[in-house]
Structure 1
Amino acid sequence: MLNLAPELAERGIAINAIAPGGTATDMAAEHTASYTPPALRDVPPEPVIQSMNALGRLAEPDEIATVTAFLLSSDASYITGATIDAAGGWI
């Protein structure tokens, strides 16, 4: 991505990425359920989630969409070659 950003910047194209953390989606819930050992299926997920990032929760899909909207807006006109970490302070 970093190699492509300068080349495409000459054409007015920004190259950026979003690095999302765990996000509360149906697909994530299905994936988690299918890979959770039976002994842990009745354990509340909150302690595990709290240990995963500084915010102690999964992102809501609209929180990741907001980052996407920002990168697509004119407010991000001077950003290229960047990766935006939207992972809640992943530890």
Structure 2
Amino acid sequence: MPHDGWGGGPGWFIIFPILWFLLVVAIVVLIARSARRGFRQGAPWARQTGANPVAILGERYARGEIDESEYRSRLAVLRSATETGDGRS
């Protein structure tokens, strides 16, 4: 008796569509998660952990925590450290 390869199981005609459906669902979920996080941020392992010190200084000035003279003096220090290569921004 010739063997046709189906083996009498549940049938591959049922299993393969389910597997394709699960694959498509997984891809859609991953794309939706990436869209919510923002595509421009890059891969999670490539993102920088520290914030930009100039941005933090600007936020502090905008909130009124520091005045203009202190903002300008600290900004000058940050920019000089960046130009000499001592800063990490």
Q: Bigger radius of gyration, 1 or 2?
A: 2
Q: TM-score range by the shorter chain?
A: under 0.3
TM-score of the aligned structures, taking structure 1 as reference length? 0.24
Which structure shows the higher strand fraction? 1
Which structure shows the higher helix fraction? 2
TM-score of the aligned structures, taking structure 2 as reference length? 0.24
